[in-house]
Chains A and B, each alone.
Chain A
Amino acid sequence: MSAAIGMEVLKTKGRKIWLVVAVMMAVQLLWAGWAISNKDANDLVQGWMFFLYQFPMLNCIIMPVIAAVVASRLSDVEHKGQTFKLLETIIPAPRIFAAKFIWGSIYMLSAALGQLAIMIGMGFVLHFGGPVPWGALASYLFFTLVVSLTIYAFQQVVSMLVANQMVPMTLGLVGGFIGLFSMFFPQGFQKLILWSYYGVLMQVGMNWDEATRATDFYWTGIDWVGLGLILIFFGLIYGIGRTLFVRREV
């Protein structure tokens, strides 16, 4: 397996995939800076909660885009060069699928870690109130990763099965927007949509007072049902997707 992953790394040479992750992180950094810039000292008391509320919302669109682009960039070289028919005579198809998933996951993990670094960095620089909520930040990283890898698995399946990469790219973008807008819908509905899970697994809630126009954040419990469901989604997408890839004829 290590050889297969190593070769995935070689295949990405000159493909500038890291640039996509970097650009999306820069967008996230700029957005976070802009969002926090109009907050006064009172607001910054709830700075950690503010970020743990805002970042998952932004992730609904940022992470699906990264997942779609990375999965597409890793798969299109195989379609263009018709390499699956040669690779599948050398190594087992499930290993090809797994190696691509593992290498793609590194990009997703890097993006999630990048966000965490932005949050912690800005928290320290701007002196957010209260102790650093390490537990909530660690949970955030875990939830972001679980949801992102599930979305990535979905994107990889479509990218590996469909030669025309416009299809997975469109699906990724549409999914991201549906995920974002689904946050206005009830939780039950959100749980039906893969891209909504950044919101489902959010650990912070928000009260908005219409009269004073003030916002107040509060900690919510972990949605264990949501976590269980996304893990099931992951298992199903990876399992079914891999089977479809293995069974298809090239």
Chain B
Amino acid sequence: MSNIIETEGLSKQYGSVYRVKDVDLSVPEGAIYGFLGPNGAGKSTTLKMILGLAKPTAGEITVFGKRVNSKNRLENLKNVGSLIESPSYYGHLTGAENLRIFQTLRGVPKQNITEVLKIVRLENQQNKKVSQYSLGMKQRLGLASALLGYPKLLILDEPTNGLDPAGIQEMRELIQSLPRKFGMTVVVSSHLLSEIDQLATRVGIIREGELVYQDSLTKLHQYSQQHLAVRTMNNEVTKSFLSQNGVAWEAQDDYLIIPQMKDSMIAEISKVLGQNNIGLVRIEERKKSLEDIFLELTGTAVSL
């Protein structure tokens, strides 16, 4: 599968501070790429650089296999729809008039307006002034603007920001339907792990401008595999015993964390500990949550 977006050493520096540093993004065709990170981690800056709205300090951006420069930027963006930070709109005009402006400037057929209004379910509110729209409706109008040219790539920066739970659900369903219905590749950024978890097929996690994880969501879930937490009357002796028998361990508070293993093996360990007068007082099954992994990767509290 080819990559729709590839960045290499992408960096953005303001003064001496790196907002984005050496980011190597790869977004495969047809994927819903979840770009995850805490607020201020550099998600929007990265996406703005891909769209040419911010100039990289260093690095290369390749979109649709073509290296992006100031000359071919707009030509490349003909196949890209975007919604950055918040929806762009003219509040004094109606939804349909807003779309007419962007449709005319994009040079796409007029009938696309009716179609995208249907996709985002705004056809009944199209003649209402956008200033009277709710935030959710404005977000949907923003998505409609991005969809006008039926782009191959859709870049959505925090599309559910400020929406109520029903709005979030609706937006999520809309985004999920796009690759299936129109063969689009979608990059969606968020600071909400739960949102990306429900949406994305591939994930990139950014922390303080650096990409700390990039792979499939399935692999990220593998990090959350089960393990065992053991507490004994003498953890020090237990540590040597486990090491002698080739069992990996990790001390955590009063517990020793060991990998998941067969019941027979656990029974054996328990028996040997008993024979050595080491009382086994706790044995628990534990599972790292996705939040724990996110916390480990980003080093910050999860915005959930």
Binding site for B on A (CB under 8 A): 3-4, 6-7, 10-11, 13-15, 77, 80-92, 249-250
Contact = CB atoms under 8 A, between A and B. Distances in A.
B101 A249 contact: no
A4 B107 CA distance: 11
B228 to A, nearest CB: 51
B88 A11 contact: no
Contact of B74 (A7, A80, A92, A250): A92
A91 B93 contact: no
A15 B52 CA distance: 31
Greatest chain B CB density within 10 A among A6, A85, A88, A92 is at A85
Interface of B: 48, 51-55, 74, 77, 80, 82, 84-93, 97, 100-102, 104-107, 130, 145
Given A3-B105, A4-B105, A89 B52 contact: yes
Greatest chain B CB density within 10 A among A14, A84, A89, A249 is at A89
Contact of A89 (B51, B93, B100, B130): B51
Given A11-B93, A82-B87, 16 more contacts: A3-B105, A10-B97, A10-B100, A11-B101, A14-B92, A14-B93, A15-B92, A81-B89, A81-B90, A82-B85, A82-B86, A85-B84, A87-B88, A88-B53, A89-B51, A250-B53
Given A3-B107, A7-B101, A86 B145 contact: yes
A77 B53 contact: no
B89 A89 contact: no
A85 B106 CA distance: 14
A83 B91 CA distance: 11
Greatest chain A CB density within 10 A among B48, B52, B88, B97 is at B88
B105 A90 contact: yes
A70 to B, nearest CB: 16
Given A10-B100, A249-B55, A250-B53, A81 B91 contact: yes
Contacts of B87: 82
Contact of B53 (A13, A14, A91, A249): A249
Given A83-B90, A249-B53, A89 B80 contact: yes
Contacts of A91: 74, 105
Contacts of B102: 86, 90
A6 B88 contact: no
A11 B90 contact: yes
B262 to A, nearest CB: 56
Greatest chain A CB density within 10 A among B52, B86, B105 is at B105
Nearest to B49: A249
Contacts of A82: 85-88
A176 to B, nearest CB: 27
B89 A83 contact: yes
Contacts of A81: 88-91, 130
A36 B52 CA distance: 58
A83 B100 contact: no
Contacts of B145: 86
B103 to A, nearest CB: 10
B139 to A, nearest CB: 13
Given A10-B100, A11-B90, A77-B90, A85 B53 contact: yes
B88 A90 contact: no
A13 B92 contact: yes
Contacts of B82: 86, 89
A160 to B, nearest CB: 15
Nearest to B55: A249
